[in-house]
Amino acid sequence: MIYLTGENVFTFNSGTEFSQFERLDLFKRQGKTAKLLLRNYNRLLAKDIATHKLDPTTVLNMYDYFQEAVGLQRKKCPLRLLKSMALKDHHIVGIDNNTSELRYQGNLIGKIAVMPETVGLVGDITYFDRMGHTIFKEYWDWRGFRSMVETYHPDGSIATQQFLKPTGEIALEITHMYLDGKILPTSYKLIAYRGKDYVFDTQDQLYTFFLNEINALEPGVFISDRRTLDNCVLNVINAKQKLAYIHSVPFVDDKKPQKGILPAYRTALTVGNFDQVIFPTKAEANTVLQVFESKLNVAVAPDSWVKVATSPKVLPKQKVLIYVGRIAEDKNITDLLKCFKAMYLQDATLRFKLQGYFSNTDYQTKLQQLVSELHLQDAVEFLPYQNEPKLYQDATLFLNASPSEGFGMNMLESMAHGVPIVTYAIDYTENNLVKNDINGYNVKNKTPKLLAKKALELLGDSENYHKLSKGALKTATKYDAKAFSAAWDLVVSE
């Protein structure tokens, strides 16, 4: 068994989660048994699993496990048919499509929120005292059972959280108390688990216990993909292998690795902790070994794989530039917009589509204001986060201005559709993935104008564009299912 350890299947995932999804899929295709073991509580997990088209039998959440809700089939729970509520005495008054009031003898005693993306199904119920203070709140799982109940301190902060089994029994209780002036979770009590109670100080201790329980049932190989979970994996008893995967660049200064490693990576990159530390490129592994004179046992394996299109692209009349990924400050999206402005001044028929999720609303507002200031409202479109192959199929060119990438999954995905890349030159992407005159261009002097200049040159040469599209497909074949499997077979020994 191969165990991938993760925090969650989020509504908005990062490249780390997508890498795990890809590995789960391919391990299954290879006939290997693998599971994604998740730490965080997520009452919408069943929905998120379906959204990302994951096999639910390959995803196991710690809270689901202790709540005895693994494999539970969904049963819709309309808020007006709640068995826990005596509707002869309590009256539900609809306010809008998302909220209803709960009244008793004419007094407001609670509010019911509709489950997201549903009509009339209960999501959570907040109860009030006579003074209007929140006294407790019930949360319902996507699958239709009351999953968690919160109580509150007088100041409104959380006091306790009780996680329930579908039968209504309490499986786990978290106590929140003042610690250094802040209300924080201070105790995790697992109740009557196999006939005993267990108490833990932190969620990570509970997660380590969970990992050991799973490994005791079926010993396997554990892969830590997130640095927040490294110590949990290291504390698994009798694992067949303990591996750490480094998805991004671990250095304090990307341009000067000798300045040191980011604190979050120290556990993973300490000699003797993990059986192997896996990097997406040989260049990054060599930098760690050489700069820090390390004796780490390293391996190289891609963090994703792609299905490669069969035909290269021909330069179209309507040219669409794209960026896919997190829309965040560290991805330097402002430079992309300035680059496109310079291109748009030369060719007003160009269009630019950016697909992903914003890191925060402030950054979203900042970018939308910049689009307005650059007078690009009719040419730039921000698309919602989703897995949409058609975007790549209709794309002409992929632009990237990120200053740092461990590999560049989004650029690889573009190349798998025959879309050439024009990017700022980045360590571990330049030459490893994006190669000048083969599948795109790396711009060493990192300015929007020079990025625009190189992109315009490419879009003005149909013969060269077709050649680079062919090169993109050829590069992508090095990361297809067969190549991915071969690399991972050298790393994982079940």
Mean pLDDT of 43-47: 96
0.95 surpassed by pTM: no
- Alpha carbons 108 and 93: distance in angstroms, whole number: 10
Task: Pick the closest to residue 113 from 91, 89, 96 (CA basis).
Answer: 96
- Among 97-106, 236-245, 339-348, 450-459, the least confident range: 97-106
> SS3 string of 67-105?
CCCCCCCCCCCEHHHCCCCCCCCEEEEECCCCEEEEEEC
pLDDT of residue 318: 95
Residue 10 has pLDDT above 70, yes or no: yes
Judge contact between 375 and 409, C-beta under 8 A.
no
Residue 12 has pLDDT above 80, yes or no: no
Q: What is the pLDDT of residues 451-469, one digit of tens each?
A: 999 999 999 999 999 999 9
Q: In what order do the strands lie in the sheet with 440-443?
A: 380-383, 351-355, 320-324, 397-400, 421-424, 440-443
Higher-confidence position of 141 and 390 = 141
Q: What is the pLDDT of residues 334-384, one digit of tens each?
A: 999 999 999 999 999 999 999 998 988 999 999 999 999 999 999 999 998
Using CA atoms, how far residue 449 sits from 315, 370, 440, in Å, is 22, 16, 17
Work out the percent of the chain whose per-residue pLDDT is above 90. Answer: 75
- Domains belonging to the chain, first-starting first, are 2-71+204-300 (3.40.50.2000), 79-201 (3.90.930), 320-477 (3.40.50.2000)
Mean pLDDT of 397-423: 94
pLDDT of residue 63: 98
Judge contact between 410 and 402, C-beta under 8 A.
no
Confidence of residue 87 (pLDDT cuts 50, 70, 90): low
Residue 272 has pLDDT above 80, yes or no: yes
Mean pLDDT of the chain: 93
Judge contact between 359 and 328, C-beta under 8 A.
yes
- Among 75-79, 170-174, 234-238, the least confident range: 75-79
Confidence of residue 34 (pLDDT cuts 50, 70, 90): very high
- Alpha carbons 376 and 22: distance in angstroms, whole number: 36
